[in-house]
Chains A and B, each alone.
Chain A
Amino acid sequence: MAHESSYVPGNAVEKWVDERLPIVRFAKEHLVDFPTPKNLNYWWTFGGILAFMLVVQIVTGIILAMHYTPHVAMAFDSVEHIRRDVNGGRIIQAVHAVGASMFFFAVYIHMFRGLYFGSYKAPREILWILGVLLFVLMVTTAFMGYVLPWGQMSFWAATVITNIVAAIPVVGDPILQLLRGGFAVDNATLNRFFSLHYLLPFVIAAVVGLHVWALHIPGNNNPVGVDVKSTRDTVPFHPYYTMKDLFAIVVFCIPFAWFVFFAPDLLGHADNYIMANSQVTPAHIVPEWYFLPFYAILRAIDFNILFIDSKLGGVIFFAGSLLVLFFVPWLDTSKVRSGSFRPVFKWFYWLFIVNFVMLAYLGASAADGNVLGIPVADFSKICTVYYFAYFIVILPLLGRFEVPRPLPPSISESVLKHDAAHAAQATH
Chain B
Amino acid sequence: MNKIKSILSALCIGLIAAATPVLAAEAGPEIKKEPWSFAGLFGTYDQNQLQRGFQVFREVCSSCHGARLIAFRNLSESGGPEFTEGQVKALAAEYSIADISAEGGTRTAVPADRWPSPFANDLEAAEANGGIAPPDLSVMAKARNTSQPFPWWLLNYVTPYAEGGPDYIHALLTGYEDEVPEGTHNSDGTPFELPEGKYYNHYFPGHAIGMPPPLSDGLVTYAEAENGTAVPMTVDQYSRDFAAFAMWMAEPHLVARKESGLQVMVFLIVLAGIMYVVKRRLWAKVEH
Contact = CB atoms under 8 A, between A and B. Distances in A.
Q: Most B CB atoms within 10 A — which of A39, A84, A269?
A: A84
B275 A254 contact: no
B69 interface: yes
Q: Most B CB atoms within 10 A — which of A243, A262, A292, A415?
A: A262
Contacts of B272: 247, 250-251, 254
Contacts of A290: 16-17
B162 A263 contact: yes
Contacts of B13: 105, 108-109, 112, 357
B144 A270 contact: yes
B139 A273 contact: yes
B266 to A, nearest CB: 10
Contacts of A361: 15-16, 19
Contacts of A101: 17
B81 interface: no
Contact of B261 (A261, A268, A286): A261
Q: Most B CB atoms within 10 A — which of A254, A270, A288, A419?
A: A270
A247 B274 CA distance: 9
A251 B23 CA distance: 32
Interface in B115-159: 135, 138-140, 142-145, 156-157
A38 B286 contact: yes
Contacts, number: 163
Interface string A99-114: 0010001001100100
Interface string A232-250: 0001000110011011001
A405 to B, nearest CB: 15
A323 interface: no
Size category of the B interface is 35 or more
Contact of A357 (B19, B145, B268): B19
Contact of A244 (B156, B165, B283): B283
Given A90-B257, A270-B144, A274-B143, A253 B268 contact: yes
Size category of the A interface is 35 or more
Contacts of B41: 262
A356 to B, nearest CB: 7
Interface of chain B: mostly helix, strand, loop or mixed: helix
A283 B164 contact: no
B3 to A, nearest CB: 11
Nearest to A416: B287
B15 to A, nearest CB: 5
Interface string B245-288: 00000101100011011101100110110011011001100111
A246 B162 CA distance: 31
B9 interface: yes
B223 interface: no
A246 B287 contact: no
Nearest to B281: A243
B232 interface: no
Given A273-B143, A364-B22, A357 B12 contact: yes
B20 interface: yes
Given A265-B142, A270-B164, A357-B16, 11 more contacts: A39-B288, A84-B74, A91-B257, A240-B286, A243-B282, A254-B269, A262-B162, A266-B162, A273-B140, A360-B15, A366-B22
20 contacts: A80-B138, A83-B253, A243-B278, A243-B282, A253-B268, A254-B265, A257-B265, A258-B265, A264-B257, A265-B142, A266-B162, A273-B139, A274-B143, A283-B26, A357-B12, A357-B15, A360-B15, A361-B15, A364-B22, A416-B287
Interface of A: 38-39, 42-43, 77, 80, 83-84, 90-91, 101, 105, 108-109, 112, 235, 239-240, 243-244, 246-247, 250-251, 253-254, 257-271, 273-274, 283-284, 286, 288-290, 292-293, 350, 353-354, 356-357, 360-361, 363-366, 369, 412, 415-416, 419
